[in-house]
Amino acid sequence: MTAMPKTQQTKVWIYQSSTIFTSNQKNHIEQKLHDFVSNWSSHGDVVNGSFEIIEERFIIVFANEEEVMVSGCSIDSSVKIIKELEQELGLSLLDKSNIAFQQAIGEIKLYQLSQIPEAVNSGEINLESIVFNNAISNGLDFESSWKVKAKDTWVKRYFK
């Protein structure tokens, strides 16, 4: 699968796993998503879609809307595939209550929102910790704002 150009017209959906994918899970995800994006359509028109698996934890689905806009039904079909993956592999991919941080050693750790103040106070999260902004929705934001230092996000309010 070729890389999707990441522009303002590229729609992005990010699904974060609560656990790291095993190699078997990753292979299954890749096969299922390859089949999906190869046949993805919106009102009968082929959607130029792709996906990436990053850090063995994030599934990123892309749709280039320069030629074909992704409609509600075609978005629903992509979410259906993610729900199927959750069921088939025993994963949690749609839970938005965990916030991912990349620690200085490169490890990614998830925190519930309520755990963030304690993690800041203990030094687990610092101003330089990377926060994964899974709410972004286009390719330009994915390139520039998916990984952001805590000091440049809403997390900074927890630092004194």
- What would the 3-class secondary structure string for 81-128 be? HHHHHHHHHCCCCCCCCEEEEECCCCCEEEEEHHHHHHHHHCCCCCCC
User: Which secondary structure element, helix H or strand E, spans residue 29, and what is its range?
Assistant: helix 23-38
pLDDT for residue 5: 63
> Which of 56, 54, 36, 55 is closest to 46 using CA atoms?
36
d(CA 108, CA 18): 10
d(CA 22, CA 20): 6
Average pLDDT over residues 69-76: 88
107: tokens are 């490890």
pLDDT of 6 over the 80 cut: no
Average pLDDT over residues 101-117: 91
Q: Please tell me the class of the 98-134+144-158 domain.
A: alpha beta
- Output the pTM of the full model: 0.91
Alpha-carbon torsion, ordered 125, 126, 130, 132, to 10 deg: 50
